[in-house]
Amino acid sequence: MAQAMDLAGWQPRLDELARRHAVPGASLAVLADGEVGALATGVLHKGTGVEATTDSLFQLGSITKVYTATVLLRLVDQRLASIDTPVVELLPVFRVADPEVSRRVTLRHLLCHTSGINGDFFHDTGRGDDCLARYVQACANLAQSHPLAATFSYCNTGYVILGRIIEALTGMVWDQALAEHLVAPLGLAHTWTLPEDVLRFRAAMGHVSGSPGQEPQPAPSWSEMRSIGPANQVCATAADLVAFARLHLDNGVGPDGTRVLAASSVAEMQRPQVDLPNPYPMAHHWGLGWALSDWSGRRVYGHDGDTIGQSAFLRVVPDAGVAVALLTNSDRTAAFSQEVFAELLGVLCDLDVPAPLQPPANPPQVDLHRHVGVYERVGMRMKASLRDGDLLLHVTPTGPLAELLPTFDAKLIPLSDTLLLGRPPIATRWLSYVFYTLPDGGAYLHDGARATPKVTESVSSAG
């Protein structure tokens, strides 16, 4: 079980870490020994100076996916579908560009990100209640980033499709189904999805960094399009987030003793479904919704989330009964969250959080020529070229992502012939890049949890 900790006494440390990492505001909640403690620091908006409090709502970003997965598994418990049901049986209008994928892709493929459907299809279909239905129709020409079930590639698109399946099974819009099937049974009074609901509370504004060395400033907009909701649009307090995590720690039983989710479904969500080619950013395996890791021989599961200038983190240590949620209103929080989790989980669980990868003083000499080429998926184009023996990566966001993410160059430093590290200009730590080949011979670059196929074998070497 968890060791005792005076969380209130940790307030000065949270304040210090937020100041040192230039995080405008943060909210922290800890579930340990069956009790929840919460802290907050900083401001919700640098332009207004409104104080961040423990009852402030932050955007959870992609942690939303675990909520969507939980609702879907509850419907599976009710025998409305199975996780191996083909999508087209539940959504007859569903199509993607590959007819075989259209016919065979299942809920399991979508839940554990192995469908191969291009995952960053940020398509705005308006604010109406039909936005998910229209989004799914717009997927008809969406190509594959990899063959079905061939590897893992993080897929926002898949979770929007799952949200639409929830609508089809319940007869409700996704927001309402989430509220009735999960939020209400857990008594989550500070968990919402629509801006008109969020704005009835203290709400965090995102902050973005324009260039290296610049402190984050208020973002130009508050949220993304409603159509991407099932993938990233839950807003909540940190305390509500650990209360949600508690459902999974308690084997699907809610706070009043009501069974919300079958114990078998809880176990299946936490069972490794697929290995990650690049396990270093977050997880070794993926379950149904959850990112799953092994830290010093102990199971840890959780999820991260990023929206427009907001970042959220959840880690659960089941053998200690501990869940820690950290919500922030900054887009540069990797180093901040690393320190928070390392210190808290060290005290609470006697658990060593893995340190981020660092480049060696003397990198190995490896053949980098085979990695040269252009790698492209929906939303991202990356060109790897050689200059003076170094591998340089030129990264260009495309489509709607081009309005949210900057173009940048990074020199990649090898740790092995397939694992390289790079540090984009505004990153707060080194990022890992894995070059690998699928059984069909296709060459891929795995970064940011996404598999990107090589589309051109060579490019002109730089300078």
**Active-site positions?**
62
152/432 Cα distance (integer angstroms): 16
CB 84 within 8 A of CB 107: yes
Task: Find residue 42's DSSP bridge partners.
Answer: 25
Each residue of 416-427: b (16+ CB within 10 Å) or e? eebbbbbbbebb
CB 239 within 8 A of CB 36: yes
Nearest to 221 by CA among 205, 235, 237, 232: 205
The whole-angstrom distance between residue 169's C-alpha and the CA centroid of its chain comes to 25
For residue 9, the SS3 value is helix
359/442 Cα distance (integer angstroms): 27
CB 29 within 8 A of CB 340: no
List the 58-59 sheet strands across, edge first: 58-59, 235-236, 191-192
134/125 Cα distance (integer angstroms): 6
* Count of CB atoms situated within 10 Å of the CB of 122: 21
Burial of 395 (0-12, 13-18, 19+ CB in 10 A): buried
Nearest to 249 by CA among 4, 35, 6: 35
Backbone φ and ψ for 435, nearest 5 degrees, come out as -100, 130
Please name the residue that has the structure tokens 């990023």: 306
Q: Checking DSSP bridges between strand 58-59 and strand 380-387, what pairing results, if any? A: unpaired
DSSP letter (8 states) at residue 183? I
- One-letter amino acid at 262 equals A
Nearest to 433 by CA among 424, 446, 416, 423: 446
The whole-angstrom distance between residue 320's C-alpha and the CA centroid of its chain comes to 24
Task: Find residue 311's DSSP bridge partners.
Answer: 306, 328
Nearest to 140 by CA among 155, 118, 168: 118
Q: What share of the chain is helix, strand, coil (3-state, %, to 5)?
A: 30, 25, 45
